[in-house]
Amino acid sequence: MTELKARYGTPLYIVDEELVRQRCQQYIAAFRASGLKFQVAYASKAFCTMAMCRIADQEGMSLDVVSDGELYTALQAGFPAKRIHFHGNNKTLEEIEMAIDAEIGCFVVDNLVELHLLNAVAAEKNVRVQILLRVTPGVEAHTHEYISTGQTDSKFGFDIGNGSAFEAVKLASEQSNLELLGVHSHIGSQIFEVEGFEMAVQRVAEFAKSVSEQLAVQFKVVNLGGGFGIRYVDGDTPLEVSQYVKAITDAVKTHFSGWSSELPEIWVEPGRSIVGDAGTTLYTVGTSKDIPGVRKYVAVDGGMTDNPRPALYESKYEALLANRANDPVEETVSIAGKCCESGDMLIWDLDLPKVNSGDLLAVSCTGAYNYSMASNYNRIRRPAVVFVREGESDLVVRRETLQDIVGNDVIPERISKQA
Ligand code: LLP
């Protein structure tokens, strides 16, 4: 860690490449064991860089993107377009055109406006595009309320419960330039139990059955989204990747057998569980403020700009002093970031050895939704990202420079001329 600091500086995102590859392999092995046809799409929103897209490709993953930026990153990395799935509840015309021109594999259509726009653009370009319809199965996952998306009151998708999903299937199957492959459901994120997924499979299967009987439309693909939890701190109790996959594939076998001539191909979209625990953020300790009898604040050289999750979701993290990992615990401190706001706290009440300025703090499990949600608040530069494997480290994103900070700024002549 000291070497990494010397070479790349801090804050620094460090990603254990081997662990990322293992997680991809675990999903693929678990699906192979099920005997079902499948695709495992890495949800790139969790952490999207060109090197990561390359690894996802090498490990046989598909890729879920939600913006032109993620799509561009994937294409620049040489990710095969056919295995890219485009998500999002408000794809722009430009994004739709870009994705059609790139010949991506599938659009996950979220709403009727998009359905008509996509069909029109595809017609204009004289192509037929493959789609899934995003449905909300009405399953509420046990997770933080801001990241539950499967319940009826959601900005995403067509509701199965109120008939809008049925209407959407009917409409989609009538569009000349759309090929409806099936449906997509995502019930939330950081989920520890399998029941929510099983329930979603059951609801989707019942829906598929009614669509098959009443509209003679067969779903070839059922995408069950992501949301598989990971352990951030003691008390988090995620299952093994293989357990999530087995629960889903077993539920598919149960609920689609008997009435469906062929079991659908199953797609999933793990993000957090591919990269989350492979990431560590390294900070340098700077100042501290001891309020006797109240609390000791210890400030690091990053904070909510590189990890907004504690401020946004009250997420908990564990950390240790990387340069003195074996020293005995001596004090309880709270880790503050360097932004000008009181909410910029990374960890409350952390037991550490006596902390000094210059110590290195390593916060674990920061691989998902940290780099990808980082900001330039307070015009703080976003950190570098390195991948480590077998004792070697390689830069995959360079640290932003001060020049980057003003790189897009313009002083209009009218203002610069004013005295
Ligand atoms: N598929 C869809 C349609 C999604 O919306 C998401 C996450 C995923 C897959 C991947 O879910 P995962 O396996 O990573 O749980 N920023 C929040 C998480 C937001 C998740 C949004 N959608 C956080 O930091 O916890």
pLDDT digits (tens, 9 = 90+) for 245-260: 999 999 999 999 988 8
pLDDT digits (tens, 9 = 90+) for 190-235: 999 999 999 999 999 999 999 999 999 999 999 999 999 999 999 9
Pocket of ligand 1 (CB under 6 A): 43, 45-46, 64, 87, 147, 186, 189-190, 225-228, 269-273, 309, 313, 368-369
Q: Does residue 16 lie within any of the structural domains?
A: no
H or E element at residue 12: strand 12-16
Which residue lies with its CA nearest to atom 24 of ligand 1?
369
pLDDT digits (tens, 9 = 90+) for 70-118: 999 999 999 999 999 999 999 999 999 999 999 999 999 999 999 999 9
Q: Does residue 306 lie within any of the structural domains?
A: yes
Q: Is the pLDDT of residue 146 over 80?
A: no
353 and 232 fall within a common domain: no
247 and 328 fall within a common domain: no
Which residue lies with its CA nearest to atom 8 of ligand 1?
226
Of the candidates 202, 366, 199, the residue with the CA atom closest to the CA atom of residue 283: 366
Q: Which of 215, 241, 270 corresponds to the end of one domain?
A: 270
Cα-to-centroid distance, 224 and ligand 1 (Å): 12
Number of domains the chain contains: 2
47 and 178 fall within a common domain: yes
Q: Which of 85, 189, 312, 372 is the best mutation target for the ligand 1 pocket, counting ligand atoms within 8 Å of the beta carbon and taking the most?
A: 189
235 and 316 fall within a common domain: no
| Other Cβ atoms closer than 10 A to 283 | 29
**pLDDT of res. 217:** 97
42 and 6 fall within a common domain: no
Cα-to-centroid distance, 190 and ligand 1 (Å): 8
Please report which confidence band the pLDDT of residue 145 belongs to, taking 50, 70 and 90 as the band edges.
low
Q: Does residue 412 lie within any of the structural domains?
A: no
Nearest-atom number in ligand 1 for the CA of 144 is 25
Nearest-atom number in ligand 1 for the CA of 188 is 15
Q: Is the pLDDT of residue 142 over 80?
A: no
pLDDT digits (tens, 9 = 90+) for 299-348: 999 999 999 999 999 999 999 999 999 999 999 999 999 999 999 999 99
68 and 116 fall within a common domain: yes
Q: Is the pLDDT of residue 141 over 80?
A: no
Nearest-atom number in ligand 1 for the CA of 184 is 3
Annotated binding site for substrate: 272, 309, 313, 341, 369
Of the candidates 97, 94, 115, 24, the residue with the CA atom closest to the CA atom of residue 63: 24
**pLDDT of res. 359:** 98
Q: Does residue 219 lie within any of the structural domains?
A: yes
Cα-to-centroid distance, 86 and ligand 1 (Å): 14
* Helix count and strand count (H, E) for the chain: 13, 18
Preceding amide of 238 cis, omega within 30: no
**pLDDT of res. 419:** 85
| CATH number (domain holding residue 52) | 3.20.20.10
75 and 172 fall within a common domain: yes
Is 339 considered catalytic here? no
Annotated binding site for pyridoxal 5'-phosphate: 227, 269-272, 369
Q: Which of 270, 300, 333 corresponds to the end of one domain?
A: 270
219 and 359 fall within a common domain: no
106 and 85 Cβ atoms separated by less than 8 Å: yes
**pLDDT of res. 148:** 58
- Sign of the dihedral defined by the CA atoms of residues 165, 169, 174, 179, in that order: positive
Q: Does residue 411 lie within any of the structural domains?
A: no
How much of the chain exceeds pLDDT 70, in percent?
98
Q: What is the ipTM of this complex?
A: 0.99
The position carrying tokens 């980057």 is 404
Q: Quick one: tokens of 367?
A: 């691989």
Which residue lies with its CA nearest to atom 22 of ligand 1?
189
H or E element at residue 158: strand 158-159
Q: Does residue 109 lie within any of the structural domains?
A: yes
Q: Which of 269, 304, 309, 316 is the best mutation target for the ligand 1 pocket, counting ligand atoms within 8 Å of the beta carbon and taking the most?
A: 269
User: Residue range 129-142: average pLDDT?
Assistant: 90
Cα-to-centroid distance, 331 and ligand 1 (Å): 35
State the residue range of the domain holding 155.
Answer: 35-270
Annotated binding site: 227, 269-272, 309, 313, 341, 369
DSSP string, 238-300: PPPHHHHHHHHHHHHHHHHTTT-SSPPEEEE--SHHHHGGGEEEEEEEEEEEEETTTEEEEEE
**pLDDT of res. 396:** 98
H or E element at residue 72: helix 68-76
Q: Which of 245, 270, 295 corresponds to the end of one domain?
A: 270
Q: Does residue 21 lie within any of the structural domains?
A: no
Nearest-atom number in ligand 1 for the CA of 189 is 15
Candidates 24, 48, 340, 365; catalytic one: 340
pLDDT digits (tens, 9 = 90+) for 5-63: 999 999 999 999 999 999 999 999 999 999 999 999 999 999 999 999 999 999 999 99
Q: Is the pLDDT of residue 282 over 60?
A: yes
Cα-to-centroid distance, 403 and ligand 1 (Å): 32
Q: Does residue 364 lie within any of the structural domains?
A: yes
Cα-to-centroid distance, 207 and ligand 1 (Å): 24
| CATH number (domain holding residue 392) | 2.40.37.10
247 and 356 fall within a common domain: no
Which residue lies with its CA nearest to atom 15 of ligand 1?
227
**pLDDT of res. 378:** 98
50 and 193 fall within a common domain: yes
**pLDDT of res. 150:** 59
375 and 301 fall within a common domain: yes
372 and 394 fall within a common domain: yes
